[in-house]
Amino acid sequence: MAPGSTVQNAAVAAASLPLVAVWPLVAAYVVATNRGGAAESFSAVPGIGEDGGAVAGAVALVGGLVVLAVIGATLLGGGPLGDGRQPTGSATTTDSTGDAATVEVVGVVDGDTMDIEYRNGTGDRVRLLGVDTPEVHTAVSPDEYEGVPDSEPARRCLRDHGHEASTFAERELSGETVQIRFDEAADRRGSFGRLLAYVVDDGVNFNHRLLERGHARVFDSTFSESARFYRAESAARETQTGVWSCRDA
């Protein structure tokens, strides 16, 4: 339960008590005065009999118990319909704060894709926003990397660096608790349904680290960090770091 929720629930219960408590009295009056034949209807219930006063008392008693139950549920559960938390299975979790969520990295697919798990046990797949590491599961495309020739040696070089990027991501992130942060300038999900996000580990943007170490190129798309990302790619390209060494393959 979130801090302060008990106080809030108590306030809600107190505010709603006058409204909730009135209806048993109204019901008892209606039955006692036999409005609409209510007493006759209730008298058919075994154990109540034909005494309108007894019927009214029974209705008031049941109503009072319901009032107590509603107030108890509000105090303990956050409201008469539950605790207000997201149901299990929701992609938005109680860990979310604005445009970020705290998650555990439970698997690394490749250098720029990983599987995450929220604290409520649900999972999702994240595609690192703004970066692209060489493919390791499908064919690589040298023309995506500026200056890298379209040749078999260059493809092998890129494939090797793709595996290096995957190994780096596995070593740095697998099993770690990190933040995923979203960018208002970018889509929340890509064409394959994967989350598009920055992964922040110990305050460091992992997407940017991939570019600094030459494990990735900038993926040409719209996102607010693009200028900084292109500077990191340019620096790695000038020193032929990582994938950029494949230009001489």
Predicted local confidence at residue 69, as pLDDT = 53
Give me the residue spans of the domains in the chain: 5-77, 100-248
Token couple for 144: 């995506």
> Among all chains, which residue has been given the structure tokens 């990027």?
165
Please state which architecture CATH assigns to domain 100-248. Beta Barrel (2.40)
Output the 3-class SS for 153-183. HHHHHHHHHHHHHHHHHHHHHCCCEEEEECC
Rounded Cα distance, 214 and 233, in Å: 7
Rounded Cα distance, 248 and 147, in Å: 9
> Global pTM?
0.62
Core vs surface per residue 130-164: b (16+ CB within 10 A) or e: bbbbbbbeeebebeebeebbeeeebbebbbbbbeb
Active-site annotation, residues: 127, 135, 194
Estimate to the nearest angstrom the gap between the alpha carbon of 142 and the chain centroid. Answer: 36
Predicted local confidence at residue 167, as pLDDT = 98
**DSSP assignment letter at 97:** B
Q: What is the pLDDT along the chain (249 residues), one digit of tens a residue?
A: 333 444 444 444 444 444 444 444 444 444 445 444 544 444 444 444 444 454 444 444 445 554 445 445 444 443 333 333 333 333 333 333 448 999 999 999 999 999 999 999 999 999 999 999 999 999 999 999 999 999 999 999 999 999 999 999 999 999 999 999 999 999 999 989 999 999 999 999 999 999 999 999 999 999 999 999 999 999 999 999 999 999 999
